[in-house]
């Protein structure tokens, strides 16, 4: 059970959900600037720091490190609440010389004084609750219950199947009796870094005449969801809803997805026009 410290520091990039009480800005040359009013009052205290790391992940990470360092100098013990962890997708080395950035980010957070990271449906974790990754303590919260509850309203009391488009988000669907397909990606071309297109989704569930909620940890370019929609339509699905914890919606993926299914919705881990459930209710 998660128990956050009662002293809360809130970064301006959380202002849609909480009232900011620290200042984070940018100098004209682009350098980040942080000011924590009355910082000495946090001396030796346990503090929860709410700071988003997306969008503008590189900038936001530097801001986080600046805040953490200042609080560390006061001897504060900081639990960081960052709903979406950037770089979490690069947690494996597929090419020789490729940097596993998920490891680096976690090591840096720990080094800068993060006692614990509270995050949501973290890409490299496959269960809710406490874990440790590269020395960083992490508490992973799943939004799947809230997303499934919202889908019940969407389908207006009609039954629906819950399908994961790939194995990565299997723990989100399994706890609701759902099942996941398996995503097969193409290989890297010529040993260079490139986006690996999806070759196919394997393991077609029986969805003929059924409503389906496609549930994933994140929608980034939308390619996974689009492939899943196409496949489930071929399989005769009746109504389709797409949901994910994190909606990055790169390029025009939100428009493409909304044109292909009844409804697309996500949490407000990253604020978007289709954020329908709130991470705040889980904290
Ligand atoms: C991958 O394993 C994840 O669970 C998501 O399916 C994936 O990250 C979504 O990315 P995209 O929207 O670019 O297909």
Mutate to test the pocket of ligand 1, among 88, 167, 216 (most ligand atoms within 8 A of CB): 216
Whether residue 194 contacts residue 188, with contact meaning beta carbons closer than 8 Å, is answered with yes
Q: Do domains 7-141 and 144-277 have the same CATH topology?
A: yes
**For domain 144-277, which architecture applies?**
3-Layer(aba) Sandwich (3.40)
SS3 190: coil
Beta bridge partners of 26: 32
pLDDT given at position 198: 84
SS3 category, 143 = coil
Mean pLDDT of 34-53: 98
Under 8 Å between Cβ of 123 and 88: yes
What pLDDT does residue 168 have?
Answer: 85
pLDDT for the residue numbered 112: 98
Residue bearing the CA closest to ligand 1, atom 1: 168
Backbone angles phi, psi at 233, to 5 degrees: -65, -40
**147-204 tens-digit pLDDT:** 999 999 999 989 999 999 999 889 999 999 999 999 888 877 765 666 678 888 898 8
Give SS3 for 85.
coil
Given a contact cutoff of 8 angstroms between Cβ atoms, the answer to whether 187 and 172 are in contact is: no
**What's the 260 CA to ligand 1 centre distance in angstroms?**
17
Does the Cβ of 219 fall within 6 Å of ligand 1? yes
Indicate the domain borders of the chain: 7-141, 144-277
Name 101's Cβ contacts closer than 8 Å, sequence gap at least 6.
87, 90
CA atoms within 13 A of residue 11's CA, in its CB half-sphere: 25
pLDDT, mean of residues 52-58: 97
pTM reported for the whole predicted model: 0.96
Which of 90, 218, 257 most suits a substitution to test ligand 1, by most atoms within 8 Å of the C-beta? 218
Q: Is the Cβ–Cβ distance between 203 and 231 less than 8 Å?
A: no
pLDDT of 72 over the 80 cut: yes
Q: What is the pLDDT at residue 94?
A: 83
Q: Candidates 142, 217, 228: which one to mutate for ligand 1, based on the most atoms within 8 Å of Cβ?
A: 217
Cβ contact 36:22 at 8 Å: yes
Count of other CB atoms within 10 angstroms of residue 41: 11
Higher pLDDT among residues 102 and 98, named by residue? 102
Instruction: State in Å: Cα 29 to ligand 1 middle.
Output: 34
The CATH fold assigned to 7-141 is Rossmann fold (3.40.50)
Give the chain's end-to-end CA distance (angstroms, integer). Answer: 10
Lowest model confidence (mean pLDDT) among 15-19, 80-84, 91-95, 108-112: 91-95
Q: What per-residue confidence (pLDDT) applies to 117? A: 98
């Amino acid at each position: 059970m998660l128990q956050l410290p009662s002293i809360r520091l809130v970064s301006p990039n959380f202002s849609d959900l909480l009232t900011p009480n620290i200042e984070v800005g940018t100098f004209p040359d682009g350098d980040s600037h942080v000011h924590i009013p009355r910082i000495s009052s946090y001396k030796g205290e346990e503090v929860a720091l709410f700071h988003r790391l997306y969008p503008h992940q590189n900038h936001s990470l530097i801001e986080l490190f600046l805040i953490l360092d200042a609080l560390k100098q006061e001897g504060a013990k900081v639990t960081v609440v960052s709903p979406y962890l950037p770089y979490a997708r690069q947690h494996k080395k597929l090419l020789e010389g490729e940097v596993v950035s998920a490891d680096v980010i976690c090591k840096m957070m720990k080094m800068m004084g993060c006692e614990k990271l509270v995050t949501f449906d973290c890409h490299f974790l496959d269960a809710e609750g406490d874990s440790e990754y590269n020395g960083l303590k992490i508490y992973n919260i799943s939004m799947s219950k809230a997303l499934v509850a919202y889908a019940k309203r969407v389908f207006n009391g009609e039954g629906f199947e819950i399908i994961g488009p790939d194995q990565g988000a299997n723990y989100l669907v399994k706890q609701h009796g759902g099942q996941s397909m398996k995503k097969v990606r193409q290989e890297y071309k010529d040993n260079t870094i490139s986006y690996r297109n999806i070759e196919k989704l394997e393991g077609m569930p029986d969805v003929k005449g059924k409503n389906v909620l496609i549930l994933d940890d994140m929608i980034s370019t939308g390619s996974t969801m689009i492939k899943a929609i196409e496949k489930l339509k071929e399989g005769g699905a009746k109504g389709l809803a797409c949901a994910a914890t994190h909606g990055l919606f790169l390029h025009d993926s939100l428009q493409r997805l909304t044109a292909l299914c009844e409804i697309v919705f996500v949490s407000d881990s990253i604020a978007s026009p289709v954020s329908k459930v709130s991470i705040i209710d889980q904290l």
